[in-house]
Structure 1
Amino acid sequence: MGDLVEWQEADRRLTRRVAGWESPLVRRFLPKVQSAAEHTKLWWCAAAVMAAAGGVRGRTAAVAGLAGMGLAELLSNAVCKQVYDRRRPPEGLIPHDDVHPRPDSSSFPSGHTAAAVGFTVAAAGPWPWVGTACALPAALVAVERVHSGAHYPSDVAAGAVIGLATGLLVRHSPGILVRHLL
């Protein structure tokens, strides 16, 4: 029990530290990241650009990315949030006034982070360069979720693990299906 309390306190300290970043660049840029990530707009736009500009490889990466994102959202939002009900970080932990109204859903795991990582990992399979290009926005989404007070770092970490797992599943599912069907 003592380890859990220590872990929760470390999570709270890290939340306070990340939310306390006062750099003008951070304060100006992260709200734009939040806006782009809402309703997965950022990833739908990335998929549209990939499909339009990347030929067959781009369309394949776009479809894989959207599948990874969708599966990650399904697992994080429809399954995990229903199983584990965790309150969002209290506003008192967030030392700035940019705390937006937060949903009543469970804080654990971060669905935004799961979607971002799921998209990135799945799209990188058919088009590795895309994984590199999407990694930075995915990381910024994760940081923004803590900075804005929407999630604890452990929520974001869990979302990243879910996104990684679903992205890899999407990348490897054609081979798995072929092996089992033959």
Structure 2
Amino acid sequence: MGDGGETKTEMKVLAGLQDQDHQLIRRVAAWDSPAARRLLPAVEEAAEHTKLWWAAALVMTATGGWRGRRAAAGGVMTMAVAELLSNGVVKQLVERRRPPAKWIPHGDDVERPDSSSFPSGHTAAAVAFTAAVAQAWPWAGAACAVPTVLVALQRVHSGAHYPSDVATGAVIGGAAAALVRLSPRLMVRCRR
């Protein structure tokens, strides 16, 4: 144990990160491009309850042959793991208020969830699905990357999440993809 200097330093670092987080959300939320005003609400609607990713899985299953079915199954399984980790575990452990409504000048903050802001479950699901699809079918994964980035941007622009919530959601999504990819190998090793 130190003399308390480490704690003060850690607190300064965390305060600095929080200030950066707050500044970044204000900048992104203030972005009032006509294209963003049309596109981002549609992205939010499509991503709600993972509808976008289920639709992508159906298209891949119907049109992609064995590769599409494999990509869709991996994407859906990985998305479920990411949602369990983000919404079922982390959100229950970390309580964080949503960004203040006064920071969102365009008024898109009307239907904000009551749950913890940390982490972004939408981003976790999007990144998980896309990462798993990319492993099985790189072209489809690249196509899914575009709406994944838009979902992450929309979560900050609408005021539903701080940028750090979205970044953490992306890490959880990536971790879920790695976990699902490694799980069959781990099971085989455990059986030996």
TM norm structure 1: 0.97
**What is the CA deviation profile of residues 133-160 of structure 1, one whole-angstrom value per residue up to 9, with x for unaligned ones?**
1111111100000000000000000000
**Of 136, 157, 179, which aligns to 1:147?**
157
Tell me, yes or no, if structure 1 residue 96 matches structure 2 residue 106.
yes
What does 1:109-128 align with in structure 2 at a 5 Å threshold? Answer: 109-128=119-138
**Over aligned residue pairs, what C-alpha RMSD do you find?**
1.0
Could you tell me which residue of structure 2 aligns to residue 62 of structure 1?
72
Answer yes or no: is the 8 Å Cα contact 1:100–1:148 preserved in 2. no
The more displaced of 146-155 and 90-99 is 90-99
| Structure 2 CA distance for aligned equivalents of residues 15 and 9 of structure 1 | 10
Could you tell me which residue of structure 1 aligns to residue 42 of structure 2?
32
Could you tell me which residue of structure 2 aligns to residue 168 of structure 1?
178
Answer yes or no: is the 8 Å Cα contact 1:69–1:116 preserved in 2. yes
**What is the CA deviation profile of residues 25-54 of structure 1, one whole-angstrom value per residue up to 9, with x for unaligned ones?**
011100000000000000000000001111
Identity of aligned residues (%): 63
**Of 123, 140, 143, which aligns to 1:130?**
140
The number of aligned residues is 182
What does 1:12-91 align with in structure 2 at a 5 Å threshold? Answer: 12-91=22-101
Structure 1: state its 5+ residue gaps.
none
| Structure 2 CA distance for aligned equivalents of residues 172 and 7 of structure 1 | 33
Structure 2: state its 5+ residue gaps.
1-10
Answer yes or no: is the 8 Å Cα contact 1:19–1:149 preserved in 2. yes
The CA deviation at 1:8 is 1.0
Partner SS state of residue 136, structure 2: coil
The CA deviation at 1:67 is 0.7
The CA deviation at 1:180 is 2.9
Runs of 4 or more off by more than 6 Å in structure 1? none
**What is the CA deviation profile of residues 42-96 of structure 1, one whole-angstrom value per residue up to 9, with x for unaligned ones?**
0000000001111111111101000110000000001000000000000011111
| Structure 1 CA distance for aligned equivalents of residues 181 and 135 of structure 2 | 6
Partner SS state of residue 104, structure 1: coil
TM norm structure 2: 0.92
| Structure 2 CA distance for aligned equivalents of residues 177 and 62 of structure 1 | 22
Equivalent AA in structure 2 for residue 29 of structure 1: L
The CA deviation at 1:128 is 1.4
Equivalent AA in structure 2 for residue 159 of structure 1: G
Equivalent AA in structure 1 for residue 161 of structure 2: H
